[in-house]
Structure 1
Amino acid sequence: MFTSKAVFRHVPILNLNAEELLALSQKLKLSLSKEDMLAVQAIFAEEKREPTDVELEVIAQTWSEHCKHRIFGAKITHTIDGKTEVVDSLYKTYVRDVTGRIREKKPDFVLSAFVDNAGFVKLDDELAVCLKAETHNHPSAIEPYAGANTGLGGVIRDILGAGKGAKPVASLDVFCFGPPDTKQEDIKAKDVIHPLGVMRGVVRGVRDYGNRMGIPTTSGAIQFDDTYIYNPLVFCGTMGVIPIKDIEKEVKPGHLLIAAGGRTGKDGLKGATFSSVSLTTSSHEEDQTAVQIGNPIEEKKVADFILAAREKGLIQFVTDCGAGGFSSAAGEMLSEVGGEVWLENAPLKVGEMESWQVFISESQERMVMAIEEKDLPEMQKLADIFETEICILAKADGTGILTVKHHGEVVCRLDNKHLHEAPRRHMTSEWSTEVGSGVEFELDYGFENGPESGNQILKALLADFAIVSREPIIREYDHEVQGNTLLKPLAGASGDAPQDGSVIRIHGSEQLVALSVALLPEWGKTMPHLMGRATVDECVRQLVAMGANPERIAILDNFCVGNPDAPEELGALVETTKGMAQTAEIYGAPFVSGKDSFYNYFKTDEGPVSIPVTLLVSGFGIMEDSKHIVGSSIRKVGSKLFLLGQASSGLAGSVLARVLVKGSAEGDEEALEFTQGPVFEEATSLEDYRRYYELVRKGVILSAHDVSEGGLAVALAEMAFSGKSGIAVDLADIPTLDDTPPAEHLFGETPGRIIFEVDPEKAAFASELGFTLIGETTDEKRLLITNGDMDFIDAPMEELKPLWKDGLKAFY
């Protein structure tokens, strides 16, 4: 075993001025602002001593944006269309308080939120389920395979550290990449990995970790946009199950803190602070040590060890050792009671590690748990059985002080009241809903001349990267390991048609869990408030479409933002958060967890490139009977098709608008522009979802698919990709909220809509509840969409499906 000496130094800061303090922060890559460094200086001035390098690193990790979420806790002076308001913490106002009000109305649903690694909701009288999603963007940008590999490993450990140890049962992944056909010469910075390299590395990293641990990857999404060339986004999520009795946990004086799993090395140094600043052309070379090295087999062993220890009642508290390493894990666990940490006990991968490196390294596959001292022999027996290494890392002592020793020398001594109280940020944001000066294009496809134009645009959408099948990537993952994936990510006669999400069976319960994800970053570029609303709706809508009870749905919010110090970008975040909160509260869908990632912008040689504000809403809903599971693929010929919800005008944010604008960009004197988004009412949608659920419980629904990217025409085509039938629909039978032009009716993306299939003999049930009959499934395998006696689309499925199915094959 490698050993290390106590190597630390005192860093003079007491006599530095503000500019010198900032320069020191930048030199040491602490990612602390001038105000932060002045606060640090004040702490040690009070103690009349200089800090050690260990103490500075501990404070930097703890106060980092990645760990402390200081922007979501900031006081923001926000101006919208010239009117100013003060937002006293985005988190408290639009996440925590919204969930609190929902919990008052549903006191028996959310069992825990915002106090643990993940939030828990009640499955049945014995079991609870949780979901957590995180990002690993910066590491994946410079090391796609390792970054994504450890991204999934980290969120799996979040679940193992939830309660006294939840069992991971399913994972999801959501990626945002630059377009795979990007030309190398269009990348305006050196040492930036081409989107193809990023995509392939990221997918394989997630694949190898999940598959080797035996956890199915069952749900996900991929978005492509030029802004993600420099800052790809990598979201990884995992769902867990735990007995309700094992949710509560507490560290008490006298508890031993045990570290288990992988050894500590020099990988993952300063990972939290690295993820809290922008990337530059030098990041790929200078920040390699911030990326961790994953070992899923080691994590599998420590996972089995933790679950066995929990079942024996040996664990009093457990958390993962992620961002900030032992500093974060031990600091969190000892934040109330205080305690003493012994770095020399940590098993090392390499020798000659300095004290700060041992304490803040983010080496993977490590968990920290609190146990009663009497249970140490039993823990060692279990560790031997599961072939995982444990050590005594610390002991809680009731002092309220975090003391870190290395071979008897005190290398860090911090009062928790200082360590966990970072200075609050005060920020300014602005947003204007008055955007655009180009030509608001009026669509005219010449439908009066036949379906050629409709066919043409439908084919263009089906072949667009926003819509094409993700099958080549889905096939990389084992989505059936553990044998509990009842609704799989691909379906239909050939097993290659899309689904809206997945459904997981839970051992020991009659109830099931549906999983879904939603993100609409194109909407965020011009309509962030509507994007927040629509993203929540899409996630909830997909869960409802699959058969989940709309009264038993919980959601997560994961934000990625470019430069929050730019008022417009922060303003977009504020508006997104407002919209998200509005819809969640109306739907009664509480937030039980979340995460944010800032500074996703890249300083190219031609200036900074920021991502659009990107909100991922992932959700899980309780399904009360396996008979309620509804897939997205047409089941048979002769069924009736119904539509839930109504379309409205407004193409802003749609795939069609982006395709048209891109196609008109060259040679046009005036740029096309779409500034009006669609309209929907959450209260109306919620009532629709409740009525739809009545049909689910009666066994009326054969299949259902949400209307999202590409609109009604794409949704119908995707349902018919099951290979079981064709579809005939008449737009004349479909009411709209306004005078919606045919093209917008076909390809607009109004939220709140679901197409569902019903047996003809049960169609009356749907009609009686007010749903609109729009067409039927046919024995001729083609998509026919008419408006009375006028054909808008008439195309055989054999022409449409290959465009959609093969869109990524050339790139992956």
Structure 2
Amino acid sequence: MSATAVFRTIPVRELLADQLLDLSKKMKLSLSKADMLVVQQIFNDEGRDPTDVELEVIAQTWSEHCKHRIFNAKIYHTLNGEQEVVDSLFKTYIRATTEKIMADKPDFVLSAFVDNAGFVKLDDDKAVCLKVETHNHPSAIEPYAGANTGLGGVIRDILGAGKGSKPVASIDVFCFGPPDTKQEDLKAKDVIHPLGIMRGVVRGVRDYGNRMGIPTVNGAIQFDDTFIYNPLVFCGTAGIIPIKDIAKEVKPGQLLIAAGGRTGKDGLKGATFSSAELTTDSHEEDQTAVQIGNPIEEKKVADFVLAAREAGLIEFITDCGAGGFSSAAGEMLSEVGGEVYLHHCPLKEPGLESWQVFISESQERMVMSIEEHNLPALQAIADKWQSEIFVLAKADGNKRLRVFHYDSIVCDLPVDKLHGAPRREMRAHWRQPAALAPKVAVRPESWTQVLKTLLADFAIVSREPIIREYDHEVQGNTVLKPLAGAAGDAPQDGSVIKVDGSKQLVALACALLPEWGKNDPHAMGRACVDECVRQLVAMGANPQRIAILDNFCMGNPDAEKELGALVECTKGMAESAIAYGAPFVSGKDSFYNYFITEDGPVSIPVTLLVSGFGIIEDAKHVVGASLRRAGSKLCLIGGTTAGLRGSVFAKYTKGAGLDGAPTWKEAATWASYEKYHELAKSGAVLACHDLSEGGLGVALAEFAFSGKAGVKVELENLPATKDCTVAELLFGETPGRLLLEVAPEHLTAAKAAGAVVIGEATNEKYLNITLRGSTLIDAAVSDLKSIWQGGLVPYY
């Protein structure tokens, strides 16, 4: 390897605006014309032209992926013809929501929006955190590697939360094109078929999590034509840390130590690549943006980090994610400034240029700050865990980021200018589609056949073939597992893990409803929060001790209607979060999820994933989602309202989704969740399943898939508004509803908590649903289950 830095000076000070934009496109900086003009001014002030290293550092620091500039933009939004100004979606609807809830619950959220993940209090000594990331663009062009490093990256986020949190459980959520898509229907060359995407993504997450020894315990999958060209890959990890180790700070004089994998040419320009649309050329041109993962290397790094934290050596730590050392060192030195030494960096291969060393996103790397006198002790721990470390930088208090490569200074920027990305101003509009009347009359020849059709829908079928790829038992703390029932093949609403050294448990759940968002993004935002909270409460989490995360994905934010849908979804999400007292403690967004096909751009719908974690205060409070025995009573909490928009049923009945989404009020659902929690704590609830995709009919069938009993239900007493049709009673997806199994001796208490008896569990393993004595559905549970279980089997 040559002992000389390889870099170049890029003339920008004399360029016109259009020339600056051309330079951005040529270098794939993903910076706008306005951005490049600000860059030009920075170097006019510096009195010189930039190096290629400096331009690359600014590009990754200002990228949408790193700076969330759309969520911090000033948006002129028109709703149904009335204009409003949204002064930062993040500040207005996310941070303000959390700050309000934190004021009401001063001892719950311990940290939010200032670290790699947000922390809530578990007990007097420990805190729990959760982070969910997206890895969409990399997974579209390299499904295995993209998803593999997606999970690896979020695990490192947890290792870099506080002074080092222990990763204890992972979740994964995927949105794919339908696996039965015909090859000839793909409208672009070099696009990977959805089946190849699905198999590669699942195996990528599987191999990283299993080899790291972290259980994958919860998740979701959605299928839709709009995800054919832009799959969505969400990876999340939960961590545990002593409360005393949450606070951290970089101070002048400290050394920045890098640990873990070596640096190579993989992951170049990953941050800027993820901040632009995909085209038919992306699969060839952007291969180097995808990282190469090595979970065994990361396992060694994780053990080293946790040992160093236990020894009290770490002052600050973060991961090398998007932007590599540029991002990690740049953020750590953003307040104090410092010197970076690229020539100290061990390389995978010789001959890397200076900018490549600094912004490479090669995996399995962490950066921590320590007091200089602790370096020998840190080295001893690194040697024990076979993790390579070196001095990357030193904080100096000079407020500049100075990067040395051998004897050359390849970057010298004031930290305030580097982290002062220009603020965007954007325009958005949304007009809420009116509900159409009259209602669609649905009178199928067989309601039983309708149920079978829904059970075979990709939105509802069993995920067991994919769940079985993951080790959800490793670490030995998974209390409520992803599958349940007599044969371990029935669905759960979420998962529960116990925590070593604590009597408190942690419930994990997630919700996404992209079909809702196509026509009613505001309702989708509300419904996603409700479903996530509802699942956590159903499993036994204390409603007062639930925290949530928001992960947004959308197509082109420069399209005003698409941005309008994002604004409305964010509003709805915040509305429900405040009503439920569920603070946002972390989040992430991914934009430009659209693909230029031969027929034009194809965008994903605005998609919101709400993930959540809640505290269960006693193992006795844990409730599963599977019917447990014959002779118990079936009860419903929550009311059914008219409206089929966004439902799975609406996909099969022309016009059924045009009459609006179902309505509900958070104040009522929240009150019912609190009453349910008291009922669950008393031991009165044998099982509980939330009503979501497919409504009551599907929930009853899934309840019975436990193999323990059949179900007999009469809908006459079902709590519902008078205008509900039979279709809405059976398959409507009104939020806020819970299906309970209650022992007869606890029926009085259940009724006092607002539960309405609708049926019973029977010895005959049939699903029988009647309305005023007239049979609507009558089928053997085994027949229904075989349909539900077999949906993904041919494809995986």
> What TM-score results when the alignment is normalised by the length of structure 2?
0.99
Conserved 8 A contact 2:646-2:657: no
| Partner Cα distance (1:749, 1:484) in 2 | 33
Could you say what secondary structure the match of 1:280 adopts? coil
> How far did 1:733 drift?
1.1
> What TM-score results when the alignment is normalised by the length of structure 1?
0.97
Equivalent residue, structure 1, for 2:780: 796
| Partner Cα distance (2:366, 2:195) in 1 | 34
> How far did 1:256 drift?
0.2
| Partner Cα distance (1:503, 1:443) in 2 | 42
Equivalent residue, structure 2, for 1:444: 442
Give the residue type in structure 1 aligned to 2:382.
Answer: A
Deviations 1:684-713 (A, max 9, x none): 000000000011110111000000000000
Counterpart mapping for 1:2-81 below 5 A: 5-81=4-80
Equivalent residue, structure 1, for 2:569: 576
Q: What count of residue pairs does the alignment treat as equivalent? A: 796
Could you say what secondary structure the match of 1:162 adopts? coil
Could you say what secondary structure the match of 2:558 adopts? coil
Conserved 8 A contact 1:710-1:749: yes
Give the residue type in structure 1 aligned to 2:792.
Answer: L
Could you say what secondary structure the match of 1:704 adopts? strand
| Partner Cα distance (2:81, 2:4) in 1 | 59
User: Are 1:453 and 2:431 an aligned pair?
Assistant: no
Deviations 1:355-390 (A, max 9, x none): 000000000000000001010001111111000100
User: Quick one: which of 705, 715, 722 aligns to 2:689?
Assistant: 705
Counterpart mapping for 1:462-501 below 5 A: 462-501=455-494
| Partner Cα distance (1:352, 1:659) in 2 | 58
Equivalent residue, structure 1, for 2:411: 412
| Partner Cα distance (1:629, 1:507) in 2 | 17
Could you say what secondary structure the match of 2:578 adopts? helix
Equivalent residue, structure 2, for 1:665: none
Give the residue type in structure 2 aligned to 1:650.
Answer: G
Counterpart mapping for 1:703-782 below 5 A: 703-782=687-766
> How far did 1:441 drift?
5.6
Could you say what secondary structure the match of 2:757 adopts? strand
| Partner Cα distance (2:60, 2:4) in 1 | 22
User: Quick one: which of 580, 583, 586 aligns to 1:587?
Assistant: 580
Could you say what secondary structure the match of 2:793 adopts? coil
Could you say what secondary structure the match of 1:218 adopts? strand
> How far did 1:736 drift?
0.8
User: Are 1:536 and 2:529 an aligned pair?
Assistant: yes
Equivalent residue, structure 1, for 2:151: 152
User: Are 1:787 and 2:785 an aligned pair?
Assistant: no
Equivalent residue, structure 2, for 1:179: 178
The unaligned stretches of length 5 or more in structure 2 are none
Give the residue type in structure 1 aligned to 2:711.
Answer: I
Give the residue type in structure 1 aligned to 2:499.
Answer: I
Give the residue type in structure 1 aligned to 2:634.
Answer: L
Query: In the superposition, relative to structure 1, how do residues 286 and 405 fare at CA in structure 2: closer, same or farther (>3 Å)?
Result: same
Q: Sequence identity of aligned pairs in percent?
A: 70
Give the residue type in structure 2 aligned to 1:680.
Answer: W
User: Are 1:165 and 2:158 an aligned pair?
Assistant: no
Give the residue type in structure 1 aligned to 2:518.
Answer: K
Report runs of 4+ in structure 1 exceeding 4 Å deviation.
none
> How far did 1:443 drift?
3.1
Query: In the superposition, relative to structure 1, how do residues 582 and 428 fare at CA in structure 2: closer, same or farther (>3 Å)?
Result: same
User: Are 1:238 and 2:237 an aligned pair?
Assistant: yes
Conserved 8 A contact 1:440-1:672: no
| Partner Cα distance (1:5, 1:656) in 2 | 65
> How far did 1:769 drift?
2.2
User: Are 1:394 and 2:393 an aligned pair?
Assistant: yes
| Partner Cα distance (1:615, 1:710) in 2 | 19
Query: In the superposition, relative to structure 1, how do residues 239 and 756 fare at CA in structure 2: closer, same or farther (>3 Å)?
Result: same
| Partner Cα distance (1:672, 1:507) in 2 | 50
> How far did 1:436 drift?
8.2
| Partner Cα distance (2:2, 2:603) in 1 | 43
Query: In the superposition, relative to structure 1, how do residues 65 and 440 fare at CA in structure 2: closer, same or farther (>3 Å)?
Result: farther
> How far did 1:788 drift?
1.5
Q: Which shifted more, 297-306 or 783-792?
A: 783-792
| Partner Cα distance (1:474, 1:761) in 2 | 36
Give the residue type in structure 2 aligned to 1:248.
Answer: A
> How far did 1:660 drift?
2.4
Conserved 8 A contact 1:491-1:499: yes
Conserved 8 A contact 1:557-1:595: yes
| Partner Cα distance (2:793, 2:438) in 1 | 35
Equivalent residue, structure 1, for 2:495: 502
Deviations 1:99-158 (A, max 9, x none): 000000000000000000000000000000000000000000000000000000000000
Conserved 8 A contact 2:435-2:660: no
> How far did 1:735 drift?
2.1
| Partner Cα distance (2:360, 2:494) in 1 | 36
User: Are 1:557 and 2:557 an aligned pair?
Assistant: no
Conserved 8 A contact 1:144-1:198: yes
| Partner Cα distance (1:604, 1:487) in 2 | 44
Q: Which shifted more, 801-810 or 671-680?
A: 671-680
Equivalent residue, structure 2, for 1:652: 645
> How far did 1:434 drift?
2.7
> How far did 1:22 drift?
0.2
Counterpart mapping for 1:297-376 below 5 A: 297-376=296-375
User: Are 1:616 and 2:609 an aligned pair?
Assistant: yes
The unaligned stretches of length 5 or more in structure 1 are 447-451, 662-670
Deviations 1:694-746 (A, max 9, x none): 11110111000000000000000000000000001111011213421111110
User: Quick one: which of 663, 676, 679 aligns to 2:663?
Assistant: 679
Conserved 8 A contact 1:5-1:354: no
| Partner Cα distance (1:3, 1:682) in 2 | 65
Conserved 8 A contact 1:164-1:247: yes
Conserved 8 A contact 2:664-2:735: yes
| Partner Cα distance (1:259, 1:443) in 2 | 65
Equivalent residue, structure 1, for 2:592: 599
Give the residue type in structure 2 aligned to 1:339.
Answer: G
Deviations 1:16-65 (A, max 9, x none): 00000000000000000000000000000011100000000000000000
Equivalent residue, structure 2, for 1:630: 623
| Partner Cα distance (1:243, 1:731) in 2 | 50
| Partner Cα distance (2:494, 2:97) in 1 | 26
Deviations 1:619-656 (A, max 9, x none): 00000000111000000000011111000000000000
Equivalent residue, structure 2, for 1:449: none
Conserved 8 A contact 2:644-2:656: no
Query: In the superposition, relative to structure 1, how do residues 315 and 659 fare at CA in structure 2: closer, same or farther (>3 Å)?
Result: same
Conserved 8 A contact 1:641-1:758: yes
Conserved 8 A contact 1:171-1:218: yes
> How far did 1:673 drift?
5.1
> How far did 1:4 drift?
5.9
Equivalent residue, structure 2, for 1:268: 267
| Partner Cα distance (1:672, 1:300) in 2 | 51
| Partner Cα distance (1:784, 1:3) in 2 | 77
Give the residue type in structure 1 aligned to 2:544.
Answer: E
| Partner Cα distance (1:730, 1:762) in 2 | 20
Conserved 8 A contact 2:638-2:719: no
> How far did 1:3 drift?
6.2
Deviations 1:394-443 (A, max 9, x none): 00001111000000210000001100010000000000013588x96613
Conserved 8 A contact 2:339-2:395: yes
Give the residue type in structure 2 aligned to 1:752.
Answer: G
| Partner Cα distance (2:241, 2:362) in 1 | 26
Equivalent residue, structure 2, for 1:667: none
